[in-house]
Structure 1
Amino acid sequence: MKTKNLFGILMLFLLTFNFISCDKEDEDGRKITDYKEYVLTVASEMKPGVIWSEGNNFLKEVYVVKKENAEDWEAMGYIDGFEFEKGYEYKIKVSETSYLDHSMGQPAWTEYDLLDVLSKEEKNSENLPLHFIPEWFYEEHVLPKYKYAVEADKKEVIETDLKESSIIPLDYHYLLYRGGDALLRWFAIKDDKNTLGPCIIKSENKDPEKMPESYKLLPPEGNVEGFIGWSFLDEEGNETNYPSFDVFVGRSAKSKSFNPAPNIVYLYKDLTEYYKNKYPEIGVKTVVASYTVGIN
């Protein structure tokens, strides 16, 4: 009998404790831990940068901003309510609110809201950094893997040429991201002072059955999920002198991730006609180059 009474008292205590704990959690809810207002200068163009959200780092276009009396530009991922127009430098008043809510997956976060647009001037902002991508982020993306195949009477001539003059630089890290306009962009980075792009990727679907036969000499190593064409435009949407590629999109055969999203692209270029014209006397039959590039 005493055992039953003791058990009942214990259960009542646990239920009461849980009720009080839940009630206290509901009372606490979302808290504002800090609030401030200040004026920002927003530069006339956005730049690629890395931001942290929902426990992950990811690459996107960010605002380039400078706080009052500050000398250096810095990155800001979001300003709620702000409608940015490229080519204009702004002075805006914003609020910065920090929250804490232990019921959320990300318990602490900060939100930036537009309070007022103080000025909007058409100009090119000066002394902007090329990007806001830390070294540790872009070095996680391996350098492109370069392969080629040659069929010719004197193929060593072409092989030497291919070794010495790759279509794309092999010592740059290549990154993909979407801009504020949702267009896919391509950005190559060697270090803080050496970059290529960004370029807007113009993509078109292609029929795999119509791909050049030469590509079969260098089959992709992973699982191919699509075949498209890529050409590259500048930020104004104009054609560039960057070469176009046929692209196989897929997943690396060595990937251990359960994420089904593509994580690699294979860039192909048939160079047969180019080398037939460059070296008409060496019996060129087929020349193809490919680049394996991981995508973030």
Structure 2
Amino acid sequence: MKTKNLLGVLLLFTFTFISCDKEDEEGRKITDYKEYVLTVASEMKPGVIWSEGRDYLKEVYPVKKENAEGWDALGGIGGFEFENGYEYRIKISETSYLDYSMGQPAWTEHELLEVISKEKKASEGLPKHFIPEAFYKDKFLPKYRYAVEVDNKEVIEEDLKNNSILPLDYHYFYYGNSEGPKWLAIKDDTNVLGPGLIKRTNKAQEEFPEVYQILPPEGQVNGFMEWSFLDEEGNETGYPSFDVFLGYSAKSREAGVTSNLFYLYKDLTAHYKSKYPDAGVKAVVVSYAIEKN
């Protein structure tokens, strides 16, 4: 009898210990904490951050730790009010957490502790972006199509092949910003177009040129706009504007939720009538399908 009672007590103790240990594992834990000083550059740059199991493109802070040579990217600093055009020295805390009840169980948060200095200057040696090649390799390239109605088709099609409006070897990005949507095109670390702002104007389909009917979008469409590509200050650039169909690829499983493709269209009929007056040009349309990142 005493042996049975002893076994019961031991089992109860073991169960209680395991339950408490499990609760500790499921609770939020601080796994690391440190404080250090950073230099924050005078302008933000496009970069990639990891959140909730995937990579996101957004504007990040170029930062440099004391005695470091190059700039690194930091996605966010709690409590830090950044003003463009000023270089900062700040003290921050870095806290690492672990919580198995969260979708992303391990994460790190950065909080402002002190602004040491704020100097109006242009930071030197900044990279054009913090987007690793692995993020865009073999992706976000424009799918170029065109359609023509013309007597001398060979001449016009050869010109279209050799004179695309958009460079076809660049990777194109669309991402959100507090000032509005932004655009960026990257060939590699040194060949970059932008970034800049996108001026979006809603349109009805009836406002688009009828000539687009000879080259319909390949996917489903749920919106219509005109896009103008501005610089970061909102000034006009030399880049042409496009009519845009917002839509989904034929393989998309998210139809009716959010657009995952932008179909950029341009009516070049007048341009080619002027360039080749004897070619019998009736209609020329180009389209670029760009994947949303």
Same fold by TM-score greater than 0.5: yes
Deviation at 1:165, TM superposition (A): 0.7
Deviation at 1:255, TM superposition (A): 2.9
Q: Which residue of 1 aligns with 2:94?
A: 96
Q: Which residue of 1 aligns with 2:248?
A: 251
In the aligned structure 2, how far is the partner of 1:114 from the partner of 1:185? 27
In the aligned structure 1, how far is the partner of 2:158 from the partner of 2:115? 58
In the aligned structure 1, how far is the partner of 2:261 from the partner of 2:66? 42
Deviations 1:242-271, CA, capped at 9 Å, x for gaps: 110000111100235689321111110001
In the aligned structure 2, how far is the partner of 1:127 from the partner of 1:160? 42
Q: Which residue of 2 aligns with 1:151?
A: 149
Deviations 1:26-63, CA, capped at 9 Å, x for gaps: 45622211111111000011111111112111110000
- Total equivalences in the alignment: 286
Deviations 1:212-257, CA, capped at 9 Å, x for gaps: 1111111111111111110011001101111100001111002356
In the aligned structure 1, how far is the partner of 2:168 from the partner of 2:90? 42
Deviations 1:90-126, CA, capped at 9 Å, x for gaps: 1111011111222222221111000111111111111
Q: Which residue of 1 aligns with 2:106?
A: 108
Cα root mean square deviation, aligned: 2.3
Identity fraction in percent: 66
Pick from 50, 53, 56: which aligns with 2:54? 56
Pick from 157, 161, 164: which aligns with 2:162? 164
Deviation at 1:135, TM superposition (A): 0.8
SS at match of 2:246: strand
SS at match of 1:209: helix
In the aligned structure 2, how far is the partner of 1:150 from the partner of 1:258? 30
Q: Is this contact kept in 1: 2:174–2:183, CA < 8 A? A: yes
Q: Which residue of 1 aligns with 2:208?
A: 211
Letter in 2 for 1:151: E
SS at match of 2:159: helix
Residues 257, 139 of structure 1: alpha-carbon distance in 2 compared, 3 angstrom cutoff: farther
Q: Which residue of 2 aligns with 1:3?
A: none
Letter in 2 for 1:155: K
Q: Which residue of 1 aligns with 2:175?
A: 177
Letter in 2 for 1:242: Y
SS at match of 1:216: helix
Q: Which residue of 1 aligns with 2:219?
A: 222
**What is the TM-score with the length of structure 1 in the denominator?**
0.90
Q: Which residue of 2 aligns with 1:41?
A: 39
SS at match of 1:127: coil
Deviation at 1:280, TM superposition (A): 2.3
Most deviating of 156-165 and 83-92: 156-165
In the aligned structure 1, how far is the partner of 2:248 from the partner of 2:17? 50
In the aligned structure 2, how far is the partner of 1:268 from the partner of 1:80? 41
Most deviating of 96-105 and 26-35: 26-35
**Runs ≥4 in structure 1, deviation > 6 angstroms?**
none
**What is the TM-score with the length of structure 2 in the denominator?**
0.91
Deviation at 1:281, TM superposition (A): 2.8
In the aligned structure 2, how far is the partner of 1:140 from the partner of 1:158? 29
SS at match of 1:174: strand
SS at match of 2:125: coil
SS at match of 1:274: helix
Residues 111, 140 of structure 1: alpha-carbon distance in 2 compared, 3 angstrom cutoff: farther
In the aligned structure 2, how far is the partner of 1:21 from the partner of 1:225? 54
In the aligned structure 1, how far is the partner of 2:197 from the partner of 2:228? 8
Residues 209, 68 of structure 1: alpha-carbon distance in 2 compared, 3 angstrom cutoff: same
Q: Which residue of 2 aligns with 1:265?
A: 262
> Mind listing any 5+ residue stretches in structure 1 that lack a counterpart?
1-5
